[in-house]
Chain A
Amino acid sequence: EVQLVESGGGLVQPGGSLRLSCAASGFTFSDHYMDWVRQAPGKGLEWVGRTRNKANSYTTEYAASVKGRFTISRDDSKNSLYLQMNSLKTEDTAVYYCARDPDSSGYKGLWGQGTLVTVSS
């Protein structure tokens, strides 16, 4: 089955760190650009960032709101995508989704179920 499954969410204090994972299955993970998108409670969708594939040197892009604090990485041998989140703020509280870009153009054809990150003291 083609799917993405996120894990690693939870409660963390402001200033803390958390690492999210996204396990891919059912498709050739290494071919695809992969994104993280988040959604604060009751709010709309916000793109967090993306990693390109090996053919494009695994380069990354980030939203201004997370640049310098969040790092996206991938391990193609494990079919896994990661989001390292440092210096977390209360406004980072959201459901975090990983998503697959079907053709490297920018839309997202496959989404995981999401994992909730709560930043609170």
Chain B
Amino acid sequence: DIQMTQSPSTLSASVGDRVTITCRASQSISSWLAWYQQKPGKAPKLLIYKASSLESGVPSRFSGSGSGTEFTLTISSLQPDDFATYYCQQYNSYPITFGQGTRLEIK
């Protein structure tokens, strides 16, 4: 199975900050990576697919990059609505696997 490791596990930041979350795969997954945002008590929401493609309706302050084994999700200027937990997910091979999550909290 492909292991997905996110860092950091928790990130404290302020409104307006630029933040980056990293996701590493235990083997190459090409660009078959998605990012999701989840708020407490809610279903995950797709932000990015194929490593860098922005899902329709998602603000352009979100961006994704990377290929192979290392990927990043960047939020260019944090907004109050962005404080949530973020997950990466590989879909290069079965079983589909998720990172453990990064909790983005208000500093």
What residues make up the interface of A, taking CB atoms closer than 8 Å to B? 35, 37, 44-47, 50, 61-64, 97, 105-109, 111-114
Contacts and interface: CB of A to CB of B under 8 A. Distances in A.
Q: Chain B's interface: helix, strand, loop or mixed, by majority? A: loop
27 contacts: A35-B96, A37-B44, A44-B99, A45-B36, A45-B38, A45-B87, A45-B101, A46-B98, A47-B89, A47-B95, A47-B96, A47-B97, A61-B94, A64-B1, A64-B95, A97-B44, A105-B32, A105-B50, A105-B91, A106-B91, A107-B89, A108-B34, A108-B44, A108-B46, A108-B89, A111-B43, A114-B43
B103 to A, nearest CB: 11
Nearest to A47: B96
Contacts, number: 59
Interface of B: 1, 32, 34, 36, 38, 42-46, 49-50, 55, 87, 89, 91-92, 94-101
